[in-house]
């Protein structure tokens, strides 16, 4: 009799489970592009407990189901180059007034991870970590500048470079520090790059170099073919002074040599670091950037760059396939910074997701010097989820018809509602 009772209880529990919805949220019928997992097809995406529960066909309903048919669904974007140290209060500086609050900009552009590219240095990183990284809902990671005070200006003094201090920071903040930055060095030597590389070796992390000033004493081709290691990053790769196209109209061979060595070419569009005259021939010849990033700051977002979806759309207009564009803002940057948990929709991964309207029309795009290309497509972010939580819903897709909701929805009965006298 006791055994029959146990069987009945098991059956009852199973029946209750069948009646319950297995997912918190289902994004139904979107075209999923997940480069890590080789998915480029119409699929449902199910979320449970802030994690990806499943990606597949006809997954059924969740507690909440959002129809995303006709839209594209991708992992949340990883912007490898942004400036976010907005609390530093330095006038006219990337580490200061030019930085952007991550939660004000990330969600509306599909960016669930923003990598600060050296705004803070080894002297002020702890302040940046406390005031920005530790408080943002958007995931913020950081490259620590080899210059002690980071990007408070363009002149970095050699004696302020301390590879041991940077490496110690990386060991003390392993969840936040993903690399080292060398930037805007004006002197003719290689001191900034070499000290950053030393810090990278000590900490076992990659180095990103923003050459900034191109001088004959330190040519760009030497940076990418001799100095940088496999996995190190050359940002602003389509900056005007970078030699791309030879007299024969073909890419210079040193670029292929650098890529074969494993150097990462990152866009870092910025306010003055991207020209179509280099980028368009490179894309046409099949030399796509490894990672597409913004160099987001208060100047670039109001200039030609605008945001990451616009920058991605520029590469679509130049002929880079959509799946490769998505790879360059999701799985590839996650690999570059050694964060394999990011940039994909595998079951069990944190549910960082972006949903896109690939608009069709006639769109114009400009570079920082006024060069223009026109394209027939433009990516626009409709939905962003961070750890399964909806943080951006441009078209109200997650809402319900208010006429079908309870009469008192939106208030707490007995607390918010004080009725007028009759």
Give the pLDDT means over successive 10-residue stretches in the chain (422 positions): 40 42 94 98 98 96 96 98 93 86 97 97 96 97 96 67 97 98 91 97 98 88 98 97 95 98 98 97 98 96 97 98 98 98 98 98 97 98 98 96 88 70 76
Domains and CATH numbers, the chain: 77-343 (3.20.20.140)
The encoded tokens of residue 262 equal 């494993």
C-alpha closest to that of 32 among 333, 323, 397, 381: 323
pLDDT of residue 5: 41
Strands 39-48 and 51-56, sheet pairing: antiparallel
**How is residue 41 written in tokens?**
């097809």
pLDDT for 159 equals 65
Distance CA 77, CA 355 (A): 11
**266 touches 240 (CB < 8 A):** no
Residue with tokens 């449970």: 48
Which element (helix H / strand E) includes 117?
strand 111-121
Residue 263 dihedral angles phi and psi, to the nearest 5°: -70, 140
For 401, the token pair is 């018809």
pLDDT score recorded for residue 90 = 86
Q: Which residues contact 155 (CB under 8 A, 6 or more apart)?
A: 186
Report yes or no: 323 and 165 within 8 Å, Cβ to Cβ. no
CA atoms in the 13 A half-sphere facing the CB of 46: 17
At residue 196, the pLDDT reads 97
Phi, psi of 249 (to 5 degrees): 85, 0
| pLDDT score, position 214 | 83
The pLDDT of residue 96 is: 85
CA distances, 288 to each of 153, 202, 282, 308, 325 (Å): 31, 31, 7, 16, 9
Residue 283: φ, ψ to 5°: -65, -45
Measure the N-to-C terminal CA separation of the chain; round to a whole number of Å.
63
pLDDT at 411: 80
């Amino acid at each position: 009799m006791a055994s029959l009772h146990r069987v009945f209880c098991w059956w009852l529990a199973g029946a209750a489970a069948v009646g319950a919805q297995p997912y918190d949220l289902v994004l139904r019928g979107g075209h999923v592009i997940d480069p890590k997992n080789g998915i480029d097809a119409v699929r449902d995406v199910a979320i449970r407990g802030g994690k990806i529960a499943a990606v597949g066909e006809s997954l059924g309903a969740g507690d909440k189901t959002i129809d995303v048919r006709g839209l594209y669904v991708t992992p949340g974007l990883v912007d490898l180059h942004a400036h976010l140290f907005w609390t530093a209060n330095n006038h006219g500086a990337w580490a200061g007034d030019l930085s952007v609050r991550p939660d004000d900009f990330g969600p509306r552009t599909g960016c669930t991870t923003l990598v600060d590219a050296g705004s803070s240095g080894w002297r002020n990183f702890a302040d940046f970590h406390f005031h920005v990284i530790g408080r943002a809902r958007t995931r913020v990671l950081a490259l620590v500048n080899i210059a002690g005070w980071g990007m408070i200006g363009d002149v970095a003094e050699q004696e302020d470079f301390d590879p041991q201090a940077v490496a110690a920071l990386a060991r003390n903040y392993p969840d936040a520090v993903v690399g080292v930055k060398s930037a805007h060095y004006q002197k003719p030597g290689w001191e900034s790059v070499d000290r950053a590389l030393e810090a990278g070796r000590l900490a076992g992390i990659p180095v990103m170099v923003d050459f900034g000033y191109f001088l004959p004493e330190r040519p760009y081709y030497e940076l990418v073919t001799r100095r940088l290691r496999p996995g190190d990053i050359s940002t602003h790769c389509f900056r005007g002074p970078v030699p791309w196209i030879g007299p024969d109209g073909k890419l210079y061979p040193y670029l292929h040599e650098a890529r074969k060595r494993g150097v990462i070419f990152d866009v870092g569009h910025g306010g003055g670091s991207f020209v179509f005259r280099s980028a368009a021939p490179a894309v046409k010849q099949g030399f796509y950037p490894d990672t597409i990033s913004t160099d987001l700051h208060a100047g670039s977002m109001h200039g030609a760059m605008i945001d990451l979806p616009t920058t991605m759309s520029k590469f679509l207009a130049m002929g880079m396939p959509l799946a490769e564009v998505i790879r360059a803002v999701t799985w590839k940057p996650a690999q570059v910074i050694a964060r394999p948990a990011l940039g994909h929709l595998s079951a069990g991964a944190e549910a960082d997701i972006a949903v896109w309207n690939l608009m069709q029309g006639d769109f114009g795009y400009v570079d920082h010097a006024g060069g223009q290309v026109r394209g027939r497509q433009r990516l626009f972010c409709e939905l962003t989820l961070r750890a399964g939580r909806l943080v951006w819903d441009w078209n109200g897709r997650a809402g319900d018809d208010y006429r079908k909701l309870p009469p008192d929805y939106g208030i707490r009965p007995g607390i918010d509602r004080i009725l007028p006298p009759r």
